[in-house]
Amino acid sequence: MPEQAEKRIPFRPLADRMRPRSIDEFHGQLHLLGDNKPLASLFAGKSLHSMILWGPPGTGKTTLARMLAEQCEVDFVALSAVMAGVKDIRQAVEQARFQRDNANRDTLLFLDEVHRFNKSQQDAFLPFVEDGTLIFIGATTENPSFELNNALLSRARTYVLKPLDDEALLAIARDALKDSERGLGKQKLSLSEDIAGLLVRAADGDARRLLTMLEISADLVGANGVISEEIIRELATDSIRRFDKRGDEFYDQISALHKSVRGSDPDAALYWLVRMLDGGCDPLYVARRVLRMASEDIGNADPRALTLALQAWDVYQRLGSPEGELAIAQAVVYMACAAKSNAVYRAFKGVQKEIARGGSLPVPMHLRNSPTRLMKELGHGEGYRYSHDETDAFAAGENYFPEEMQPQRYYHPVPRGLEIRIGEKLADLRRKNRDQKDC
């Protein structure tokens, strides 16, 4: 008989094999797991409650849920909202009821990517979280405030996980290289401090990404077992920094860019611009937001900013990436350095509030259009003073507001840039209006 073939060992990625088995093996998240911190107390007291774990990929959300279930001696049911539905939730509830009634054991339901469940799907397991049938842990990379029901949020405490720092990532890499049972220890690989630092920077706070690159590196090393700089740089070539075109990373970074421009810091503005472009943001989206910055934060203090923003948009459409991105960078730097004014923005908002409060007041007769004989006979346009026929092309004392409201001042030019001159001009015109009324 032929010799029995050796049983094949199923493949498991290094990132899965190296999952921490206890709190002592877990690296990072000290704001949650350090002494007297919230999750550390759960491990110490073996008392669980429903929670949302919110953080970037590769920061330990799934691992923490598994370890909590094991430490607190409860059954663990793991589902992914990408694949699961209400039917799966019902099955988990039935299983939890059976275990509670027959084995006196609680059940922890872990739902990964919980933000992918719509509101009705989230409602499906609310009653069972409420009555204690399920201890619920949801993991998400999206802001729970926007993606989850308020009812669910009120029943679960939210913990924020941070990107892993360099120290934690280095410790994870060393563990993987040293562990001969689960890791790469049998291969006796070597990694210099400089190369380890390069690997950590490429991982960008993500333990899964770090271990994946380390595993691939192990397959590429030569006979000497040295992981070289060339290998890491090759693997890091396609590494993309944390950026989600629809999530918090997106809005946080565009917010940082906008606030850096508003704060007149061209260096920080450039940093956030390049971070977004490096992460895969559509440059045309940035160009549109730059136009907004020109109107909202610079306005009439330097009207050239709006023109430059439009030109940068046009240049990018003509050149594309990467050449056209430089024009957007030029506009961002110019606006960060330009005089700032939000006077038009505040005036616009003020008028919106006035209209919401005052309703649709009629246009005064002397300001109405009168293109037909009937309109003229009805008095449309009667008494209107044509400014160009007046001294200095200004009809002093004329009123352009509805008759039912007092003239208002919404636009208050700031004492910066061109608005200094605009403010002086408006002050002179208001003086002429007062002189006309005194006559």
pLDDT on residue 204: 85
CA distances from 81 to 77, 88, 116, 149, 430 (A): 13, 10, 6, 15, 63
Q: Residue 243, Cβ neighbours under 10 Å: how many?
A: 17
The whole-angstrom separation of Cα 147 and Cα 24 is 33
Q: How far is CA 101 from CA 94, 98, 413, in A?
A: 11, 5, 72
* pLDDT classification of 259: cutoffs 50, 70, 90: very high
Please compute Rg for the chain using Cα positions.
32
- Looking up tokens 């409860």, which residue turns up? 74
Q: What is the CATH number of domain 361-438?
A: 1.10.3710
Q: How many whole angstroms separate alpha carbon 211 and alpha carbon 87?
A: 35
Higher pLDDT, 318 or 119: 318
Confidence of residue 421 (pLDDT cuts 50, 70, 90): very high
The token duo for 327 is: 């024009």
Residue 160 pLDDT exceeds 80: yes
CA–CA separation, 283 vs 292, rounded Å?
14
Length of the chain, in residues: 439
User: Same CATH topology for 166-236 and 248-337?
Assistant: no
User: 3-state DSSP call for residue 160?
Assistant: strand
Six-digit token pair at 276?
Answer: 């977004």
**pLDDT tier for residue 390 given thresholds of 50, 70 and 90:** confident
- d(CA 375, CA 24) in angstroms, rounded, equals 86
For the ranges 54-68, 84-98, 167-181, 238-252, which has the lowest average pLDDT? Answer: 238-252
**What is the amino acid identity at position 158?**
T
Both tokens assigned to 305: 């900013």
pLDDT in tens, 116-127: 888 888 888 888
As a whole number of angstroms, the distance between CA 389 and CA 238 comes to: 67
DSSP letter at 382? T
DSSP class per residue in 257-293: HHHHHHTT-HHHHHHHHHHHHHTT--HHHHHHHHHHH
Three-state DSSP class for 161? coil
**What is the side-by-side strand order in the sheet with 107-112?**
75-80, 107-112, 135-140, 51-54, 157-160
> Would you call 364 exposed, middle or buried from its count of C-beta atoms within 10 A (0-12, 13-18, 19+)?
middle
Whether 1 shows a pLDDT value over 50: the answer reads: no
pLDDT at 301: 95
pLDDT above 70 as % of the chain: 95
pTM of the model: 0.67
User: Has residue 386 got a pLDDT over 50?
Assistant: yes
From start to end of 44-134, where are the E strands?
51-54, 75-80, 107-112
CATH code at 29-160 = 3.40.50.300
**Confidence class for position 2, pLDDT limits 50, 70, 90:** low
pLDDT of residue 419: 92
Mean pLDDT over 338-358 rounds to 92
Q: How confident is the model at residue 45 (pLDDT cuts 50, 70, 90)?
A: confident
Asked if pLDDT for residue 238 goes beyond 60, the answer is: no
Higher pLDDT, 437 or 150: 150
Across the chain, mean pLDDT equals: 88
- Reduced to 3 states (helix: H, G, I; strand: E, B; else coil), residue 401 is coil
User: What pLDDT digit, counting tens, does each position of 285-305 carry?
Assistant: 999 999 999 999 999 999 999
pLDDT higher than threshold 80 for residue 3: no
Q: What is the CATH number of domain 248-337?
A: 1.20.272.10
Tell me, what's the pLDDT at 211? 94
Domain residue spans in the chain?
29-160, 166-236, 248-337, 361-438
Per-residue burial over 376-398, b if 16 or more Cβ lie within 10 Å, else e, is eeeebeeeeeeeeeeeeebbbee
Q: So what's the pLDDT on residue 314?
A: 94
**Position with higher pLDDT, 242 vs 94:** 94
Cα 203 to Cα 242: distance, rounded to the nearest angstrom = 10
Pick the CATH number of 166-236 from 1.10.10.60, 2.60.40.10, 1.10.8.60, 3.40.50.300: 1.10.8.60
Distance (Å, rounded) from C-alpha 210 to C-alpha 199?
A: 7
Residue 430 CA to residue 105 CA, distance in Å, equals 79
Q: Helices in 204-265 by DSSP H: which ranges? A: 207-220, 229-236, 248-262
